[in-house]
Structure 1
Amino acid sequence: MGKKFGFLLGLLAGGAAAHVAYRRLDDAQKEQLKEDLQDKVDIAKDRAVDYAFYASDAWADFKETFAEQSESVSDKLKTATAQFENQHFSKADDDEASSEDLRSELADVATAADDDSDDIVLNSEDTFGGADVSDVTETEETPAEDADTADSTESTSNKPEA
């Protein structure tokens, strides 16, 4: 609170001294003081306007630079996206192209099968000399099944009774 009071007291004392000094000046000195003060005010206004123009130019430059940079970043992003799509989706395009090739080959095979070419047809009589293969496999499997059953009964019979 003391600092505020001291500042206010100094301001009042300075104002009173300036008023007393102004009253003691003659008319020519008063006019000269007013002209000097008006010149200083005009210079301050000019500087304020100049700084406002500087700030406006700086803001316009910033917006232009920002627009250029954002456009550059946007172009780089689009390029990177296109490269990414080309790298990752070209495989899918290749797969689609290869599946189209396979479909066309299968269609060619189907039309080739429809023609009247001689096919190789095998039957069991020609291949195995008339032997009945189903009887042979059944007789071979029967003893193996009996042995498995005998082994399981023996393993249970060898256990001591409790």
Structure 2
Amino acid sequence: MSTTQSDRLRGLLEPLVGAEGLDLEDVELSKAGRYRVLRVVVDSDEGVDLDTVAELTRAISARLDEADPLGDEQYQLEVTSPGAERPLNEQRHYVRAVGRLARIKLHEGGELVARILSVDDTGLDVEVPGVKGRRATARRLEFSQVAKARVEVEFNRKDKSTEEA
């Protein structure tokens, strides 16, 4: 999708998404056979529920019909959240992932899987789990050190209410 088309769609959709109290994370337009797929990725600090996605999908569909930014092209609209293994690209993404495990690739090379403990304007504090009976270690990472980061799925994650008890 061209930058101009992406910017135009973003400008068209951002007010609708913001009105629902959500952040517009991404707008992707891709080919799927004869059709195109317009994927709109939204999120918030509290997450996104299905009712909100349904309401937003109707509002976006109506706005796209009205503005007709894709012309006569046939497309399928998908409104979604970033998913379980969401990428961490902005400071707000890290804030939303506090308490979660993340796979972090560093610019200097190397990769670590660590639990995000806290986040501020310049970076994050993480806890790297110990291996083979060793203790976990705390580490400070500046955002400038992080090349790429993604939330890791935990099947045996402790519930916060269990940890506080």
TM-score (normalised: structure 1): 0.14
| Higher normalized helix content (fraction of residues) | 1
TM-score, normalised with respect to structure 2: 0.14
Structure having the higher strand fraction is: 2
**Comparing both chains, which one has the higher relative contact order based on Cα–Cα distances under 8 Å and sequence gaps of 6 or more?**
2
